[in-house]
C-alpha cells in the first residue's frame, strides 16, 4: 500500500506541474513538443516493433533470470526461473514509450547509442528502426536474457547492435571504450538512486554538447525522484524534460538552462 500511495502522490505532483504548449516560449522546446511529443504519424516501423513484442509475449521458453536491478532491492542479485513471456510482460517498455523513443531517435538521427539495460531487446530494436545506420551498444546483466536478445537481433538481421553481457559496473567502461562520445544514452536498467547516479557520473565525461540522455522511470520511487533532481541540477545539463515515465536531457551549449514538465 505504501508503494501505491507513493506512486499516486508522485503522479499528482507531476500533473499539477505540467506546462501547456502556451508556456513553451523556447523555440527548441516547442519544436520538441510539436515535432516529437505530438507527432501522431503511424509509422510503418511500429508494426515491426509490435510484431516483435507479440512474439516475446507468447514465448513459452523458460530461462534462468538474474536480476541485478530494482528487483534485487539494490543488494545481491536475485536468480529465478521465468518464462520469457512473463519477463516480457514485466519489463518491456509500453507501446506509448516505444513510440516516443522511436520518434525521438528518428528526430535526432544519432550515429552512436548506448543503452544500459537491454532486457529482451525491444528498446534496441525500436532505436535501430528509427536510426538504421546508428551503432548501438547495449548492456544486459543477465546472460540468458542477453542471449535471447542476441538471437532476436540476428533473426531480424540487425547487425548494428552489439550486446555486452555483464553488470553495468563490469561492462560500462568497455562500452564507453567502443563509443567514447555517445550521441544518445538510454538509462533503463537500474531504478535505484545511487546506482543510477553512479552510472550517470561515469557517462557524463563522455557526453558532448549534441548528446541526449533518456532516463526510464524517473518517478519510480521517492529516491529515484531525488536522483533525477540531482542529475538535472548539474551545470552540464541545459534542458531537462519530465514526461513522468521518462526524463530527457539536452546538453546543447546554446540553450538556456531550463526544466520542463510536459504531458506525455
Contacts of 54 (CB under 8 A, 6+ apart): none
Alpha helices in the chain (DSSP H): 2-17, 27-32, 45-57, 84-91, 95-108, 122-130, 143-155, 168-178, 193-203, 222-232
**Grid coordinates in use for 257?**
538552462
Which neighbouring-strand residues pair with 140? 165
Has residue 67 been placed in a domain?
Answer: no
**Domain encompassing residue 214:** 2-52+93-261
Say whether 187 sits in a helix, a strand or coil.
strand
> How far is 85 from 180, CA to CA, in rounded Å?
35
Q: Which residue's C-alpha cell is 543477465?
A: 142
Mean pLDDT for each consecutive 10-residue tract of the chain (264 residues)? 77 92 90 96 96 96 85 65 96 96 98 97 97 98 96 94 96 97 94 93 97 96 94 97 97 95 94
Has residue 86 been placed in a domain?
Answer: no
> How far is 137 from 113, CA to CA, in rounded Å?
6
Has residue 59 been placed in a domain?
Answer: no
Has residue 216 been placed in a domain?
Answer: yes
Has residue 70 been placed in a domain?
Answer: no
Contacts of 149 (CB under 8 A, 6+ apart): 118, 119, 120, 121, 124, 138, 140, 163
**Grid coordinates in use for 154?**
540476428
Has residue 71 been placed in a domain?
Answer: no
* CB contact at 8 A, 123 and 115: yes
> How far is 109 from 75, CA to CA, in rounded Å?
37
Contacts of 88 (CB under 8 A, 6+ apart): 53, 56, 57, 59, 120, 122
* CB contact at 8 A, 240 and 226: no
> How far is 128 from 230, CA to CA, in rounded Å?
30
Has residue 64 been placed in a domain?
Answer: no
So what's the pLDDT on residue 69?
63
So what's the pLDDT on residue 130?
98
**Sheet strand arrangement including 212-216:** 161-165, 135-140, 112-116, 184-187, 212-216, 246-250, 239-242, 258-261
* CB contact at 8 A, 21 and 33: yes
Has residue 40 been placed in a domain?
Answer: yes
CATH number for the domain spanning 246: value is 3.40.50.150
pTM (2 d.p.): 0.94
The full length of the chain comes to: 264
Nearest CA among 149, 151, 185, 183 for reference residue 168: 185
Which neighbouring-strand residues pair with 55? none
Our count of domains for the chain comes to 1
Amino acid at each position: 500500500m505504501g508503494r501505491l500511495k507513493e506512486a499516486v502522490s508522485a503522479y499528482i505532483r507531476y500533473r499539477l506541474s505540467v506546462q501547456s504548449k502556451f508556456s513553451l516560449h523556447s523555440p527548441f522546446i516547442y519544436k520538441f513538443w510539436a515535432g516529437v511529443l505530438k507527432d501522431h504519424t503511424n509509422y510503418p516501423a511500429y508494426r515491426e516493433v509490435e510484431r516483435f513484442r507479440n512474439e516475446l509475449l507468447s514465448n513459452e521458453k523458460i530461462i534462468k533470470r538474474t536480476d541485478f536491478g530494482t528487483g534485487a532491492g539494490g543488494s545481491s542479485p536475485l536468480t529465478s526461473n521465468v518464462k520469457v513471456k512473463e519477463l516480457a510482460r514485466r519489463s518491456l517498455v509500453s507501446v506509448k514509450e516505444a513510440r516516443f523513443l522511436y520518434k525521438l531517435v528518428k528526430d535526432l538521427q544519432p550515429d552512436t547509442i548506448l543503452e544500459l539495460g537491454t532486457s529482451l531487446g525491444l528498446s534496441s530494436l525500436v532505436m535501430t528502426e528509427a536510426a538504421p545506420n546508428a551503432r548501438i551498444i547495449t548492456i544486459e546483466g543477465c546472460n540468458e536474457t542477453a542471449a535471447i536478445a542476441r538471437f532476436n537481433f540476428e533473426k531480424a538481421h540487425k547487425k548494428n547492435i552489439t550486446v555486452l553481457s555483464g553488470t553495468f559496473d563490469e561492462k560500462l567502461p568497455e562500452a564507453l571504450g567502443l563509443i567514447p562520445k555517445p550521441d544518445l544514452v538510454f538509462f533503463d536498467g537500474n531504478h535505484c538512486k545511487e546506482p543510477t547516479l553512479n552510472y550517470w557520473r561515469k557517462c557524463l565525461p563522455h557526453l558532448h554538447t549534441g548528446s541526449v540522455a533518456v532516463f526510464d522511470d524517473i518517478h519510480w520511487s521517492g529516491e529515484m525522484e531525488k536522483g533525477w533532481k540531482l542529475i538535472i541540477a548539474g551545470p552540464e545539463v541545459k534542458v531537462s524534460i519530465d514526461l513522468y515515465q521518462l526524463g530527457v536531457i539536452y546538453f546543447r551549449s546554446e540553450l538556456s538552462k531550463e526544466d520542463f514538465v510536459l504531458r506525455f
